Structure 1
Amino acid sequence: MPQWVQGALKNPHVSVESPFARDLGVGAGVYRALAVLTYVNGASSPVGSLSGVDVPGLILASSFGASLYIMTKRNVKLGKSTVIAIGGLIAGAHMKFHK
């Protein structure tokens, strides 16, 4: 293995912290609103119809932005939060399409 991989495995910089109740409430509220928007969009539009609004894109962009906001609020650097959020999107897409 490369030297940098061996060094990273010997000294992992992983810490787990419990979120503050206020931050947890804000995050839960944002994702709850996005879930309601998803449900309303699916229930109100007939199958196969096209509308002028890209609601799934709006939900995806909003959740990505909310993830970045919540993580940077917890003092995670923007670059690291972006990588974590993109990793979550990839993992979610992988789980959805490979059941």
Structure 2
Amino acid sequence: MEEKKNNDLSVFQENLNKENEIINDKTIFAKNIEKETNNDLSVFQENLNKENEIINNKTISAQEAEYYENMENEMENERYINFLLFQESLNEENKYINDN
């Protein structure tokens, strides 16, 4: 009877050991998946950061281009205003000459 108990305990212990080994394997597998997921997320975040930096640089470039275009437009407007003022002064001078 005692031998049967020992055999049953031995089989039970062997089954526990196998289950423990399976649990350990699953734990290792889960940890590996977690590492890969974290690595994937890190790479994804790094790529997002790079894309964001590119977008920021393009935005800054566009803003600079707009700034210089606005400056050119202002200068063009000033030249046109100066031309109109010059033309007005010529007209006044011609009027003065014609009147005298």
TM-score (norm 1): 0.27
TM-score (norm 2): 0.27
Answer with 1 or 2: which has the greater Rg: 2
